[in-house]
Structures are given as C-alpha cells and as structure tokens.
Chains A and B, each alone.
Chain A
C-alpha cells in the first residue's frame, strides 16, 4: 500500500477457490439428489472447501483491519455491502411470503369454484372447499383415502388465549424478541467500552439462539410424529416448512455468526468501541432474522 490514498488489495487466491467450492457443493448436491453415489462425497468436499475458504477470507479481512489497512472509505463499503446483502435476503423471504398470501387469499378460493372459473372447479375438483389451514386437499376431496397429496391431520395454528402459555411458538417469539434486545445491549456495551457486559450480553444472545433452535427442532418432531404435518402435507405443509425452515436456517447462520463474534471477543479481545463492524453486521443480521420471525409468527401461526 504505497502511495495514493485509495485502497486496492493485492492479488488473492480466495475468490477462485470460493467459486470452486461453491460449484462443487451445488454440483454434488444435484448429483446426490439425482441419485448418484458420488453426490454426497462431492457435496461434502465442496462444502468443506467453501467453509475453509470463507474461514480464511474472514481471517484475512480481520487481520487487515487490525493492521490498520482499512481506510474509513473501505470500512464504509463493508457497511453498504452488508446492508444490501440483508435487503437481498428480505426479497428472498418475500417470495415465500408472497406465495403464502397468494395461495390463501386467491388460489384456494378459485380452486374451490369462486370467480370466473367456477365450472372448471366443478369438473376438476368436485367437492373441494377452500379453508386455511388446508386440511383437506383437492386430491383428498376427489380421491379420499387414495389421495397422493394429503393434508395434515392437525395444524400449527393459534390455540386461543387460554392455551397461550403452553404454545411453543409463543415462547419462541419471546425468546427471539429478547435476544434482539440483548444483542442491542451488547452493542451499547461495546460502544461504552464495557467488555464484560458485552461478553455477557452477547453470550446470552447466542444462548437464546440455541434455545430457539432446540425448541424449533422439538416443534418439527412434534409436527412429524404427532400432528401428521410434514413437508408433503399439501400446500399447508409446503408453506409452513419452507417458511419456518428457511427462517430456522437463517437463525442457525446468525447464531454461528454471533458465536464467532463472541469467541473473538472472549478469546482474542477483538472489537473496539469505535471499530466493531464485524459484530455490528452480525447483529444487523440477527435483527433481520428477528423481524422475519415476527412476520412468520403472525402470518404462519397466529392467523395461520
């Protein structure tokens, strides 16, 4: 970095390896899904490569920052990058929420004969009635027990205020909302140079993330074993598991991110009052995951 006021990094092996790792992962996944025995091997080899590259990449970025190589301008680029990355995630979830709303408010009534296409419903799916959660699929309405696409036996919907305290999604909401608060406290703590408070609050956040994931796993087991609610339970099962599943995957990502931040602070003393964007980015991500959950809580559970 001689001369000039701009920052340009040297050549780097990271990107090509990251591309290769990513490719191997998805190539392996596709082979695996299509039944090739090499699939799992390729998939895991790719996943490992990719993870190793990311590990390296982040280490390098961190050490560059510690060495004082990062200009305020570059730091700002990271901030912008993270912000727009989260926006892209918002749009990913928007596709699934959009699918849910469209199915509930438009497609199912049409399938049941509302609107101009009424007659075709009588011909294709006689006897089908729109309802949500969709317990009786069009297939079941026509073919009864022979149906291939069956609805769930029970749904995950709102149990009424009386049963609120025994309702798992309610507790998951409490947990995630509190974790958003604790991660915020962690942020104020590091800004006030209070390392101890930062470690505690961040640690609690990670813990809450874990508890959420355990409860969510619990709920899935309950759904599969007792409610007859699976990924294959018609459109209700599809939307339920895809929305909560992708959310859960994001919570997992977020928890891992925060855990790494916590380890960096506890073990290495990283982050300064005025230089903690690594942590802050993870906390933004966490708030985002939290907001998605609130959307899910209402759209999938309370009014589901």
Chain B
C-alpha cells in the first residue's frame, strides 16, 4: 500500500484516503458555513430595522431559502461526515473506510451539487425562494424556473449522502478491531451508525418527493394539485417524513462528540454508557413517528394532532436521559475548561433550552400560536447552532491536534468561544420574544412593535459571524505551525485514536490494534 500522500492536486482529486477525504469534507463544510453565513447576514441586515432598505422581498426570500439549504445540506451534514471519515476508522482500529473509492465519490458529488445550487442565484427568475422546506404549491405552481436545478441538486446530494452512509455502516459493522464488540464502541461511532441508518431510510424519501415535484411542474402529474385529485398537504407529509429524521441526522453525531469530550475534561468515565446507546436508538426510532408536529396547523384530524403531540413529547424522555448522563458525568469530576469542553458545556445547556422550546411547540394547541413565528426560528436555531455547530466546533478543537500534530492557540479558542456564545444568545434568544409577540418568519418587513428585538438579533448575528472568522484563523494557524502536540494530547483521554502519534500516520492502522476497554 502507498505509504504517504501523493503530491500535488491529484492527491485530493484521486485520493482514497479517509483522512484526505475527511479534510476535504471539513473544508467544504467550512466554506459552505461561510457562504450560508453571508446569506444569513443579508437577512439580518435587512431585518435590522422595519421597512425595506437593502434587498427586495423576492431576493430576501431567496436568501432565507438558500441560507437554510446551504447550512443543512452543505455545512452541518458534510461536517459530520468529515468527522466520521477522520475519526471512525481511527476509533475502531481500521486502516480506512470500508469502501474507499466510493468514499471519494460521495465527497466529490457535493462541490458539483452546490455549484449547481448556487448558480441558481444568477439565473433568470432568481434562486429558489420557497423556503428550505419548499412546500408545494410555492415550489411547484409558483416556483421560479431554477427550481429544476434545485431538484436535481437535491437528487445528487442525496446520492452522496446515501453512499456516505452505506460506507459508514459497512465500516462500523465490518472493520472493528478484534475485541471491540458493539457495546464497547465509542459513542461517536454508535451515534454515527444510527445516523447512517436514518440517512439511508429518509434520503430516498426526499428524492421521491422532489421527483413528484419535478413531475408536477413539467410533466403534468397532479400529486400536489387538488384539481386533479392530489393534495398539497401530501407534500408536507412526505417532506416531513424525511425532515424530522433529518433534524436528528444533524444532532445524533453531535451527541457522540460531546459524549467523547465531557469525560476527558471531567476526568471521569462517561456516566451511563449503555443508556446512552439505548437512548440514541429510541430517539432514532421515535423520529419516524413524529413528523406531523410540523403540520399541526394544516388541518389534521384531531386524532392525528393528539397522536403526533404525544409521540413528540415522548422524545423528550430519551433526550432527558442523555442530558442527565452528561451532567452526571461532570458531577464531582475534576473539571478543566479547555476550548472543546467550553463548547461542550454550552452545548448541554443551550441544547436543553432548544429541547424545552421544542416541548412547548409539541403542545398542539399552543403551536397554533407559535407556528410560523420567530419562536420556531428560535427553537431550531437553539438546537442547531449551539447544538450541531457547537459540537462540530468542539470536535474540531478536540481532534485538531491529532490531525495536524500541532496544538491550537488556547487563548484564541476561548475568545472564539465567548464571542460565539454571546453572539448566538444575543441573536436567537430575543427571537423567542418577537415570536411569542407574533412576528411571522420569512418576511423582509415587520411591524414597529418588533423593532427592538430585531435590532438586538441583528447585532448578535454580526458578532457571531466575526467570531467564526477568528475560528478560521485559529485553525489555519494551527495547521501551519504551533506547539507540537503529544500522542495523547489531553490528560488520559479514552479511545484508540490517542494511542497513535500526533499527527496520526497517513494509514493509521495497517494491522488490527489491540483493543482494551475501560468500561
């Protein structure tokens, strides 16, 4: 087998190495994070004051749509796949992913897909403007012509996700070091196994629903058209059958990351390992039977409202188990607060706030007030920003020394954390209030009564954005130079990845390592 990386650009184009591919996924995700961030700042700039000042309403709608799509499919999902690529083989003692060529294929589809999606901004009629949830008939009868490109972009990024997920399952099922039974796998591996299952189950459903849109728009079918006997609500059912598991696809790997970091800096083994595994599986299972909580106000029968309300509330139980376990892990631990730990603790606290607002939204009669207001926007940004994004950030700080062999600048990491922490709370906490007061989402102009909260939100958003530039600088500075990291990097961290030198060799394990577990 080749021992070092090839030279030049072809190293990246033709690679079959999980570390190269992981890095490409992470850089791609970072780029999309900034692109989606720019869209968000356009939104926040427009909403800084009531009235229309910067962009016209149609372009505003394109920004909300593209922001959501780019962040969900371009930033969060590829970041987790990047981390999976880097860490799963190392954590289970494998030389690489199970299907290395397909791995590179999964990655390279993404730049093409997002180039195509982004190019719609320059097309006649503009980019998709119907929201990241692309409800019919907005996305069919009333859509701009660029919707066709959007549909095909979704198709190929779905293919990428499915192949990525198949690869991850094959790797975990088939490549574990001898002695690593399922119940001894690191939780990041466990959560990714379950996430991969969710991906394979729901990405094809997304492909199905965009195909129906394509047919309705161009080939005369009536799936979402009541005149022909179809139903626009059918769109919402199929979309959310994908969509709700999708939000868990964006959070389960996050659970795995913080479950790795908290024990290291609390210097205690993770509390309740097996309950973590079962809770993850329970959440994944339940995620298939709660989708209509996004549709409480479309006119579901009362039995449907009740079923989806109770099923949704049930999810809070396994989620609560997890939060309890993280807190119990820290309880009486010898804690230190390095950057990854700061992000992880913030994760636990702020994700829980997002979970609570989720519970409020789950109450069907209450949701009639909250639905389609900024309260929903506050909810999902609390689970996604300090949830998904913070966990990814924590993971990057935690594993970066292992990847490149250098220690990042701790002071700058801490400053990044506090700016991001303050920025996001200033941005999103006021949205709870403007939402409860009745401010609708996805509008470029609003009533004077919402002006104060919006101005605060906009200031916070720019602060959060600035913090991320600092992150970028810190990462690059670490890769270029910095204090050398030891093999263990941290104090007695658990896991096979810490048994190899930093930076980890190009092919981490060429023979199955010996695995001893401490729990």
Using a CB–CB cutoff of 8 Å, the interface residues on chain A facing chain B are 1-16, 18-20, 22-23, 26-27, 29-30, 33-34, 57, 73-74, 76-78, 80-81, 84-85, 87-89, 91-92, 94-96, 98-99, 102-103, 107-108, 110-111, 115-117, 124-125, 134, 137-139, 147-149, 151, 230-232, 234-238, 241-242
Contact B510 A6 (CB under 8 A): yes
Hey, which chain B residues are within 8 Å of A232, CB to CB? 219-222
Mask, B284-309, CB within 8 Å of A = 1, is 00000000000000010110000000
Q: Whole-angstrom distance between the alpha carbons of A11 and B15 in the complex? A: 5
Contact B15 A80 (CB under 8 A): no
Distance (Å) between the CB of B294 and the closest chain A CB?
A: 16
Partner pick for B14 among A11, A23, A231, A236, CB 8 A cutoff = A11
Q: Whole-angstrom distance between the alpha carbons of A9 and B203 in the complex? A: 28
Mask, B150-189, CB within 8 Å of A = 1, is 0111011001001001110111011100000000000000
Contact A149 B104 (CB under 8 A): no
Q: Whole-angstrom distance between the alpha carbons of A85 and B203 in the complex? A: 12
In this complex, which of A14, A22, A110, A115 has the most chain B Cβ atoms within 10 angstroms of its Cβ? A22
Contact A92 B204 (CB under 8 A): yes
- Number of B interface residues, CB 8 Å? 85
Q: Whole-angstrom distance between the alpha carbons of A78 and B99 in the complex? A: 8
Distance (Å) between the CB of B128 and the closest chain A CB?
A: 13
Q: Which residue of B lies closest to A133 (CB)?
A: B229
Q: Which residue of A lies closest to B166 (CB)?
A: A84
Contact B201 A234 (CB under 8 A): no
Q: Whole-angstrom distance between the alpha carbons of A236 and B512 in the complex? A: 56
Contacts beyond the supplied A80-B169, A91-B204, A92-B205: 7 A-B pairs with Cβ under 8 Å: A14-B101, A15-B107, A22-B159, A26-B156, A81-B98, A88-B200, A89-B204
Hey, which chain B residues are within 8 Å of A242, CB to CB? 211-212, 215, 221
Q: Which residue of A lies closest to B100 (CB)?
A: A9
Q: Whole-angstrom distance between the alpha carbons of A20 and B260 in the complex? A: 37
Hey, which chain A residues are within 8 Å of B234, CB to CB? 99, 102-103, 107
Contact B156 A22 (CB under 8 A): yes
Total cross-chain contacts (CB, 8 A): 241
Q: Whole-angstrom distance between the alpha carbons of A220 and B433 in the complex? A: 57
**CB-CB under 8 A for A92 and B207, given A107-B230, A115-B301:** yes
Contact B149 A19 (CB under 8 A): no
Distance (Å) between the CB of B111 and the closest chain A CB?
A: 8
Q: List 18 A-B contacts (CB under 8 A).
A: A2-B1, A5-B510, A12-B16, A12-B101, A15-B102, A15-B104, A16-B13, A19-B105, A19-B109, A20-B112, A22-B112, A81-B167, A96-B208, A139-B227, A151-B229, A231-B220, A234-B222, A238-B223
Q: Is B321 engaged at the interface, CB distance under 8 Å to the other chain?
A: no
Contact B512 A88 (CB under 8 A): no
Hey, which chain A residues are within 8 Å of B448, CB to CB? none
Q: Which residue of B lies closest to A246 (CB)?
A: B211
Partner pick for B116 among A23, A87, A124, A236, CB 8 A cutoff = A23
Hey, which chain B residues are within 8 Å of A138, CB to CB? 226-229
Contact A111 B229 (CB under 8 A): yes
Q: Whole-angstrom distance between the alpha carbons of A235 and B228 in the complex? A: 6
Q: Which residue of B lies closest to A245 (CB)?
A: B215
Partner pick for B2 among A11, A230, A231, A235, CB 8 A cutoff = A11
Partner pick for B229 among A11, A81, A98, A236, CB 8 A cutoff = A236
